[in-house]
Amino acid sequence: MANQPVKYIFVTGGVMSGLGKGITAASLAKLFKSRNFKVNLQKCDPYLNVDAGTLNPKEHGECFVTKDGAETDLDLGHYERFIDQELTQSSSVMAGRVILKVIQDERAGKYEGDDVQIIPHLTRAIQEYFLEASRGFEIQIIEIGGTVGDYESLSFLESIREFGFKVGRENCLYVHLVHVPFLNTSQELKTKPAQNSVRELRSIGIFPDVLVARSDHQITQPIKDKLALFSGLKLDSILSLPDAKSIYEVPITIEESGIMPVIFQKLQIKNKKSDLDDWKKMLTKINKKFDQTVKVAIFAKYLDNNDTYISVLEALKAAAWYNQVNLSFQMIDASKYDQDANSNNLKKLFNNFDGIIVPGGFGVRGLEGKIKAARYALENNVPYLGLCLGMQMAVIAAARNAGLDQATSFELNDQSKYQVISTMNDQLDKMMTGGTMRLGDYNCHVLDQTLAKKLYRQSDIIERHRHRGECNQVFVNEYEKWGIKASGFNLDSNLVEIIEGINHPFFLASQFHPELKSRPNRPHPFFVGFIKSLINNKK
Ligand code: GLN
């Protein structure tokens, strides 16, 4: 697309949240990428937070971390998994970040006496983020968080409206998702909420180019006609997206709907042939029922929704598809075992599972329970995968198992001399502050003759981080006595990145988050190895 201007696609949502704007945006990006376009994705969130790092995972779900250390909304995880491309800070725009920038500019005198206003200053600042993120790309897909009609999203919506005029309507496409509910009592689909939402969008000056009808039912022709009529769109611009069995089916549904040629025409670019062979191969695996099922216990803290551990779950699923087994997992509330001194209860629990995962987390609740889970795995040769906090708890478990009963971490006891997991000095007074953890990509050198090396099949890797705690260097020499060894180190700081069990079928844990770099069709080696060990454990 030499000399072509960048084409921008905005994805908005109406009626209610949770319709799948993120998956739709990611799927569209996948379809452009499958045609060899250079595509980027961006998420705008109306929260006044500067980033997602300080949001409670209980309500907001996982905080996804990019390679350059941005703490972002979980949709960026979907984006990366769909297009298999590492994103950066510029892909995540939270309202607080933009407002902070405007206020900092005002203080720096950059507005030269102007009254600083939402329109045009804030809206222009938002547009600068669109422009910056799209540099070097041909297609920029931008998801606007929240629901049209919310007071909160107005600045973003006004921004995208103005932007269409600035870059030219032929360089801009508005995709609007609406919910079309099915009423069981009368057995019919209802379009009224969708009608209201399109009216709302129009009232702020945005005329959708594509309307996506989300429903738990296939949209019938009369309903499509109705949607086309009131939205002023041709029938070919209405896309029906019924609930999918797997989110990874959505790109194929969109491709097969025939909407892509319409999008190309509206954006005045030439369509290309898509190559979705690999993706389709992956889908056949996803839809297959295998003979064997592996059962994983996830010893977790945030149990209100699975979104909190979405990258972990997607990495596990991908590894199960890769190993051709069915996955069954259960979230276990680790805090239930904090006080529980009866090891028979753990034994009873783990009798139902083939392996244990302790994922990342913050705060004290559930830590003792997680230590017990890791210790159980270590003592009983049960496969264990520890992710960040899961590694820290594994080190404590090994120390206690070897007789150092006081072994603890900075989170459990900030005064103890026996912090086998401690913080770096520069973290001491920053516990609740935003953007101050060890974040993003760091290198790791993997030692020879280790499980980690066997899985990676290379010595130097880069993985993503989000933590304050580290293996306390004072105790690293004790590890072998504790039945574990450090198998990966950061070359610049000498910090421990990976530990593993000695003479254990699979006891592996990392200070980084391997789940963040896992892909549905290219699972992370740690997860592949973990699932394999569960299969072997059964034999
Ligand atoms: N709370 C621990 C730390 O800050 C672990 C963090 C995590 O699991 N992401 O080091």
User: Hey, what domains does the chain have and what are their CATH numbers?
Assistant: 7-281 (3.40.50.300), 289-538 (3.40.50.880)
Query: What integer best gives the mean pLDDT of the chain?
Result: 94
Residue 531 and residue 322 in contact, taking contact as beta carbons nearer than 8 Å: yes
Q: Where are the alpha helices (DSSP H) in 440-507?
A: 451-456
pLDDT of residue 306: 80
Residue-wise pLDDT for 120-141, tens only, equals 999 999 999 999 999 999 999 9
Instruction: Looking at the CA of residue 470, tell me the nearest atom of ligand 1.
Output: 10
pLDDT in tens, 435-468: 788 899 999 999 999 999 999 999 999 999 999 9
Pocket test for ligand 1, best of 64, 311, 357, 411 (most atoms within 8 A of CB): 411
> Computed over its alpha carbons, how large is the radius of gyration of the chain?
25
> Which atom of ligand 1 is nearest the CA belonging to 513?
9
Q: Among 364, 467, 510, 516, which residue has the most ligand 1 atoms within 8 Å of its CB, making it the best to mutate? A: 467
Cα 409 to Cα 78: distance, rounded to the nearest angstrom:
33
* CA-359 nearest atom, ligand 1: 8
Whether the CB-CB separation of 76 and 85 falls below 8 Å is answered with no
Q: Bridge partners of 419?
A: 408
Q: Which amino acid is at 491?
A: L
* Ligand 1 centroid – CA 472 distance (Å): 14
What pLDDT is recorded for position 453? 98
- Among protein residues, the one with the nearest Cα to ligand 1's atom 7 is 360
How many angstroms separate the CA atoms of 513 and 150, rounded? 34
Name which of 484, 454, 293 is nearest 393 in CA terms. 484
Q: Which residues have CB under 8 Å from 128's CB, separation 6+?
A: none
Query: Which of 62, 71, 365, 389 to probe ligand 1 with, by most ligand atoms within 8 A of CB?
Result: 389
Of all protein residues, the one whose alpha carbon is nearest to atom 1 of ligand 1 is 362
Range list of β-strands (E), 243-391: 293-300, 326-333, 355-358, 384-387
Q: Could you give the percent of the chain with pLDDT greater than 70?
A: 99
Q: How many CB atoms lie within 10 A of CB 378?
A: 22
Asked whether 487 and 506 are in contact (CB, 8 A), the reply is no
Among protein residues, the one whose CA lies closest to atom 5 of ligand 1: 389
Going from the Cα of 318 to the center of ligand 1, the distance in angstroms, rounded, reads: 24
Q: Which residue has the tokens 């921004």?
A: 159
Distance in Å, CA 466 to ligand 1 centroid: 7
Ligand 1 atom with least separation from CA of 361:
8
The per-residue pLDDT for 369 is 95
Provide the token pair at 183.
């009423």
Cα(126) to centroid(ligand 1), Å: 32
Question: What gap in Å lies between CA 440 and CA 422, rounded to an integer?
Answer: 19
Quick check: bond before 120 cis, omega within 30? yes
Distance in Å, CA 515 to ligand 1 centroid = 14
Give nearest CA residue, ligand 1 atom 8: 360
The torsion angles phi and psi of 385, rounded to 5 degrees, stand at -125, 120
Classify burial at 487, counting beta carbons within 10 Å of its beta carbon; exposed 0-12, middle 13-18, buried 19 or more.
buried
Residues with CB under 6 A from ligand 1: 360-362, 388-389, 411, 466-469
Structure tokens at 193: 């909420």
CA–CA gap between residue 315 and residue 510 (Å, rounded): 15
Q: What is the sign, positive or negative, of the torsion defined by CA atoms of 162, 164, 166, 169?
A: negative
Q: How far, in Å, is the centroid of ligand 1 from the Cα of 423?
A: 10
Which residues are marked as active site?
Answer: 388, 513, 515
Q: How far is it, in rounded angstroms, from Cα 407 to Cα 324? A: 40
Mind listing the pLDDT tens digit of every residue in the chain (539 residues)?
Answer: 557 899 999 999 987 888 999 999 999 999 999 999 999 999 999 999 988 888 888 888 899 999 999 999 999 999 999 999 999 999 999 999 999 999 999 999 999 889 999 999 999 999 999 999 999 999 999 999 999 989 989 999 999 999 999 999 999 999 999 999 999 999 999 999 999 999 999 999 999 999 999 999 889 999 999 999 999 999 999 999 999 999 999 999 999 999 999 999 999 999 999 999 999 999 999 999 999 999 999 999 988 878 999 999 999 999 999 999 999 999 999 999 999 888 888 889 999 999 999 999 999 999 999 999 999 999 999 999 999 999 999 999 999 999 999 999 999 998 999 999 999 777 777 777 777 888 999 999 999 999 999 999 999 999 999 999 999 999 999 999 999 999 999 999 999 999 999 999 999 999 999 999 999 999 999 999 999 999 998 76
Residue bearing the CA closest to ligand 1, atom 6: 467
CA of 147 relative to ligand 1 center, distance in Å? 32
Distance 278 CA to ligand 1 centre (A): 35
Atom of ligand 1 nearest to the CA of 466: 9
Atom index in ligand 1 nearest the CA of residue 423 equals: 10
Mutate to test the pocket of ligand 1, among 388, 412, 413, 472 (most ligand atoms within 8 A of CB): 388
Q: Give the Cα separation of 48 and 99 in Å (integer).
A: 8
- How many angstroms separate the CA atoms of 531 and 539, rounded? 13
pLDDT of 52 reads 87
Strand (E) or helix (H) holding 160: helix 154-167
Atom in ligand 1 nearest the alpha carbon of residue 363: 1
CB atoms within 10 A of CB 304: 11
Pocket test for ligand 1, best of 367, 392, 420, 510 (most atoms within 8 A of CB): 392
The answer to whether the Cα torsion of 60, 432, 67, 458 is positive or negative is negative
Distance 398 CA to ligand 1 centre (A): 18
